[in-house]
Amino acid sequence: MKAKAWKYLAVIGIVVVAAAVAAVTAGGPDLTGRLSLARGTDAGKGTRVALAAEGVDEIGVFGSESGGSSRESLPARTEYGTRASFAVISEKGDRVEVRLPGRPNGRTGWMEATDVSVRSVSSGIDIDLGSRKLRAERDGEVVLEADVAIGSDRYPTPKGDFYVTDVLRSDDPAYGDWAFGISAWSESLTDFNGGSGQIGIHGTNDPSSIGDAVSHGCIRVDNDVAAALSDVIELGTPVSIH
Give mean pLDDT, residues 193-208.
Answer: 86
C-alpha angle 140-21-120 in degrees, rounded to nearest 5: 35
Q: Are the CB atoms for 13 and 236 separated by under 8 Å? A: no
Report how far residue 10's alpha carbon sits from residue 168's, in angstroms, rounded to the nearest whole number.
Answer: 9
- Residues ≥6 apart with Cβ < 8 Å to 13: 83, 235
Q: What is the pTM of this model?
A: 0.81
Q: Are the CB atoms for 62 and 110 separated by under 8 Å? A: yes
E-only strand ranges, 53-94: 58-61, 72-75, 85-92
The H or E element spanning position 185 is strand 178-185
Question: pLDDT band at 199, cuts 50/70/90?
Answer: very high
Report how far residue 7's alpha carbon sits from residue 157's, in angstroms, rounded to the nearest whole number.
Answer: 23
Q: Where are the domains of the chain?
A: 3-44+122-241, 47-121
Amino acid at 204: T
The H or E element spanning position 126 is strand 123-128
3-class DSSP state of 165: strand
Note the pLDDT of residue 184: 95
Report, at the CATH architecture level, how domain 47-121 is classified.
Roll (2.30)
Lowest mean pLDDT among 24-33, 136-145, 173-182: 24-33
102 DSSP assignment: S
Tell me whether strands 133-138 and 141-147 are parallel, antiparallel or unpaired: antiparallel
**What's the sign of the alpha-carbon dihedral 226, 229, 235, 241?**
negative
Give mean pLDDT, residues 39-54.
Answer: 68
Q: Are the CB atoms for 94 and 24 separated by under 8 Å? A: no
Write down the H helix ranges in the chain: 20-25, 223-229
157 DSSP assignment: P
Q: What is the CA 67 to chain-centroid distance, rounded?
A: 31
Note the pLDDT of residue 228: 96
Using one digit for the tens of pLDDT, what is the confidence trace for 86-105?
999 999 999 999 999 999 99
Residues carrying an active site annotation: 202, 218
Q: What is the CA 7 to chain-centroid distance, rounded?
A: 16
Q: Is the peptide bond before 75 cis (omega within 30 degrees of 0)?
A: no
CATH classification of 3-44+122-241, choosing from 3.30.1330.40, 2.40.110.10, 2.40.440.10, 3.40.50.300?
A: 2.40.440.10
